[in-house]
Amino acid sequence: MENRTVTDGPPKQGWIQMLGVHEAEGRLKQVYAEMRANMGSRPSVYSTPTGDAPNIVKSHSLEPEGLRLAFSISTAIHWSDKSLPWVKREMINTVTSRANNCFY
């Protein structure tokens, strides 16, 4: 398992270009704005230390439509009135990530 923590290596966000909210233009800027509007009142623990979009979101930034779809379905699954309780969701997310050995 490769730990890509804040202390590791040069300050790269990932292996490909990743655009944040402040660098976004055009369709990407629009998608980020829509995502922010749809986030509602999510707990502050989900906010990144920089206030930018999380890196997992930014990793999709070169494909704004793929970004919109991947995270819209995430919202429908995890953050709708149909969703499981918050604790259960995070138990599932953590165990899935653990089984995949995904450090992030």
Partner 1 sequence: MSAHAEFLRAASQDADLAARIKQDYRTAELSEPDRLMLEFVEKLTLYPWLLVRKDVTALQNAGFPDATILHIVLGSAHFNYLNRMADGIGIRFEYQTEIPEAAQPSFGPGSVSVGTPHRAVPESESSGLTWIRFPESDIALRETNEPLNFYRVMSPNPDARQLARDWRSYQMKGTMQLAVRLRSQLGLYISGLNHCEYSSYWLTKSLIGLGESSSLCERLALGESPPDRGSRERSLFTHARRLTHEPASTKEEHVQQLRDVGFDDKGILQLTMLCSYFSFENRVALALGIPIESET
Residue 88, φ and ψ in degrees, nearest 5: -60, -40
Residue window 7-26: x/- pattern of binding to partner 1, with contact defined by CB under 8 A: -x--xxxxxxxx--------
DSSP-assigned letter for residue 27: H
Q: Tokens representing 69?
A: 């779809």
- Closest CA relative to residue 62, chosen from 25, 102, 11: 25
Site for partner 1 in 80-99 (CB under 8 A): 80, 82-84, 86-99
- Residue 20 structure tokens: 């944040």
User: For residues 28 and 34, is the Cβ–Cβ distance under 8 A?
Assistant: no
Per-residue interface string for the shown chain with partner 1, residues 23-62, x marking contact by CB under 8 A: --------------------x-xx-xxx---xxx-xxx-x
> Which residues form the interface with partner 1 (CB under 8 A)?
1-6, 8, 11-18, 43, 45-46, 48-50, 54-56, 58-60, 62-63, 65-66, 69-70, 72-74, 76-78, 80, 82-84, 86-104
